Structure 1
Amino acid sequence: MWVLLWGAVSPTIVVGGVLASVLVITVFPFPRAPWTWVIRPWPTLVLALRFLWDLVRASVEVSWFSLRPAGAPPSALLRVQLRTRSELIMTITSELVCLVPGSLLVELEPEEGAIYLHVMDAHTPERLAAFHQSVLEQEKRVVKAFAPREERDAVCGQEVRT
């Protein structure tokens, strides 16, 4: 950004930009994030692969809804009570759920640990229950991939021991 502001590239400008950025970061440090998280490689890979599968499956399903002669199915607003209270985990879960076509995040309430989602395919109570369960499973995958051990054990129960 510094080089773009000066409009030229020279060793003096590049070194000056590095020194200016170090000075700014030293004088005005970022506040520490109030959450902790870890990255577990295998659960993260499982999370990514399942997200990609959900993305492809839902894209085909939404495409069919737009092309079929019966028209769009009825939609609904669904409240999902998440098991975690970590704002970071709730945000990641919400983003992964709403990035898949067919659902949209309406509201995230971190104090209550709940998310409100607009669901495109709500023609039966079973479909709503299946979507609700899929959100909880996504939350569990996110917790297994990124949450600290204490939170992971609290949300996932005794099934995980690593």
Structure 2
Amino acid sequence: MNLFTINTLLAIVWSSLWADFTLMSLATGFVIGYAALWVAQPLFGGRVLYFRRVWRVLKLFAFFLYELVVSSVRVAWDVLTPTQLSNPAIIEMPLDVKSDIEILLVTNLISLTPGTLSLDVSPDRSTLIVHAMFADDPDALIAELKDGMERKVMEVFEQ
């Protein structure tokens, strides 16, 4: 049984003990279960990737929330003000991610961020076609996407 499954079971047991199956209770149980597994880490032997991966997923989530807020404000400002600040363009972003799940996550995170939309992935899965609302400098936008979303996704899935 992997550590994520054990942590989930610990969260369910925690909620059962409190007879409170709310999202907050499950999240609390998950955090307490994570801490308990962290303390018991020597019992699992060697390096345990689970603890680093959870931290990287949380960092990706926080980064995405930050990008979501910043881009939402930027798009709302452009829509609500009389001046047109957008310079839309379709750009080709070379992909460093290789697996299907990494490509899926990168494309979905880009599409969920206001002002950008993933249009297609090349047949050889080396290029992502993106429509960007603010593409004044396409090279800077590509660098921002690669250094942001793609790098964070790669960190989550690296061994």
TM-score between the two structures when normalised by the length of structure 2: 0.63
CA shift, 1:67, in A, is 1.1
Letter of the structure 2 residue corresponding to residue 135 of structure 1:
L
Which of the pair has the greater relative contact order for Cα pairs under 8 Å at 6+ separation? 1
- 2:32 is matched with which residue? none
1:71 aligns with 2:84: yes
CA shift, 1:134, in A, is 2.1
Unmatched 5+ stretches in structure 2: 1-48
Higher-Rg member (1/2): 1
1:81 aligns with 2:94: yes
Correspondence 1:84-103 to 2 at 5 A: 84-103=97-116
Find 1:133's aligned residue among 131, 139, 143: 143
Letter of the structure 2 residue corresponding to residue 119 of structure 1:
A
Q: Sequence identity, in percent?
A: 28
CA contact (8 A) 1:90 1:110 kept: no
- 2:156 is matched with which residue? 145
Stretches (4+) displaced over 6 A? none
Correspondence 1:35-54 to 2 at 5 A: 40-54=53-67
Unmatched 5+ stretches in structure 1: 1-37, 150-162
Output one character per residue of 1:58-96: Cα deviation in whole Å (capped at 9) or x when no partner: 000000010111125221001000112212101101101
Larger proportion of helix: 2
1:58 aligns with 2:71: yes
TM-score between the two structures when normalised by the length of structure 1: 0.61
Distance in 2 separating the partners of 1:58 and 1:129: 18
Distance in 1 separating the partners of 2:85 and 2:119: 20
Distance in 2 separating the partners of 1:73 and 1:54: 17
RMSD of aligned Cα (Å) = 1.7
